[in-house]
Structure 1
Amino acid sequence: MAERALSFGAVAEAYERYRPGYPAELAEKVLDYAGAPVAGALEIGAGTGKATRLFAGRGIAVTATDPDPAMLAELRKHLPADVETRRGALEDLRPDRRYGLVYSAAALHWTDPAGRWPRIAALLAPGGVFASIGGPIGPADPVVRKAVDDAQAPFLESAEVPSPDGTPPENALQWPGTELEQSELFADVRQVVVQERMTFSADELIGLFSTVSVYRVLPDSVREQVFSRIRQVLPETVDMVADHTAHLARRR
């Protein structure tokens, strides 16, 4: 997992180009849940700033953190100078101040489960909000999905990141909500989903796949072969669906 977690910096520009952003409705749901104005927020695993834009654009002073300097360098190209950046994984951060909001988008599963929740709680003011945003994105058409799975099957069992706590996909409450509910540090756990549809060209979809960790850690020659096989089964345009799931909790 550590190799996959640190595999993105080499494709930071492609990450920014091909990874879709997040819908404004997600930020609205987080801030509605907060129930009061949020002055400052800390972001865990900011990457190139896809989710940073959600909150910095609403007048919140965001401190964006990431362990990869190449990702932070790309973030700085696209965000105002008043967005503070700090290099470091969650495990490196020290609670020199407490925030009204701590959030992570498509990055929490890369953090060390040992001490994860005490570390996050230490960064939050009492009553402050934690938000984890994530969820799968893939072809909306099951026929296209299966064609992609079949094309890559000789090289990969799955491109998905498994649930960190083993929660099966049919459970109503998914991870990290499952862990938050069990933590004595958090209360009022909620799970909300915002579905988004978009259309990619076949080449754009291959570009997106080039930023996904399971492909990044393949040897270059194997990765090229996988992408060639996938490209052959794709239509010229691919309707995509993303289920953005936000897990929300309040610091006791």
Structure 2
Amino acid sequence: MLAELRKHVPAGAKTVQAAFEDLRPGERHGLIFAAAALHWTNPEGRWSRVTALLEPGGVFASFGGPVQLADPAVEDAVRAARAPFLESDEVPSADGTPRGHDMQWPGTELQRSEWFTDVQQSVIERRSTMSSRDYVGLLSTISAYLELPTSEQEQVYSRILQAVPERVEIAADIIVHLARRRCEQ
């Protein structure tokens, strides 16, 4: 993603690739973004850390969203295949906001924060068809599967491969949140 960003910003723009926890306050940035990883960060102090890393007026951006099968019957087959290992493969909202709510997490927390303003949420619809193997490869990047022991991952992926057709259609909308750091008083 950083390579793609570099294609679209002026040559003199400085970019930094780092884990959130590895960034140290002191040097401030005009943009900080998290791509489908914000739920992995420590919630305690998350927004104060982001604020300390952003210059006044700087933008925080978050990208992520659920991957769902478009065909309910195939979704049911996957649910049954993963049931011995996972009740659900959804990433729960960090603040309990239910899916489908007008504003999703982290936008809900950003709206409540004293440090941010101009909170926006956009949804980029994404539909695609892929092979069953590519679909399982995609599942292997989802937190619920990553947290399983390796032996269970192999078993659940095998069961899912057997349960789905050779090609599957997925809905993988990207939910984008933008928020501007308030300028210091």
Query: How many pairs align?
Result: 179
Report the counterpart of residue 100 of structure 1 in structure 2.
30
Higher RCO structure (Cα 8 Å, ≥6 apart): 2
Report the counterpart of residue 52 of structure 1 in structure 2.
2
1:168, distance to aligned residue in structure 2 (A): 1.2
**Match of residue 64, structure 1, among 2, 11, 17:** 17
1:180, distance to aligned residue in structure 2 (A): 0.5
Task: Say which SS state the counterpart of residue 57 (structure 2) adopts.
Answer: strand
Q: How many angstroms apart in 2 are the aligned matches of 1:61 and 1:145?
A: 43
Q: How many angstroms apart in 2 are the aligned matches of 1:169 and 1:232?
A: 29
1:212, distance to aligned residue in structure 2 (A): 2.6
Q: How many angstroms apart in 1 are the aligned matches of 2:43 and 2:165?
A: 40
Q: How many angstroms apart in 2 are the aligned matches of 1:177 and 1:65?
A: 23
**Match of residue 70, structure 2, among 131, 137, 140:** 140
**Match of residue 154, structure 1, among 60, 78, 84:** 84
- The yes-or-no answer on 1:120 pairing with 2:50 is yes
More helix, by proportion: 1
| Cα RMSD after superposing both structures | 1.5
Matched-pair contact (CA < 8 Å) for 2:65–2:175: yes
Q: What's the CA shift string for 1:12-67, capped at 9, x where partnerless? A: xxxxxxxxxxxxxxxxxxxxxxxxxxxxxxxxxxxxxxx3234222124321112x
Report the counterpart of residue 247 of structure 1 in structure 2.
177
- Tell me the TM-score normalized by structure 2: 0.90
**Match of residue 211, structure 1, among 133, 141, 149:** 141
5+ residue gaps in structure 2? none
1:171, distance to aligned residue in structure 2 (A): 1.4
AA at the equivalent of 1:201: S
Q: How many angstroms apart in 2 are the aligned matches of 1:160 and 1:55?
A: 28
Structure 1 runs (4+) deviating above 6 angstroms are none
Q: How many angstroms apart in 2 are the aligned matches of 1:170 and 1:210?
A: 24
Q: How many angstroms apart in 1 are the aligned matches of 2:149 and 2:22?
A: 30
Task: Say which SS state the counterpart of residue 173 (structure 2) adopts.
Answer: strand
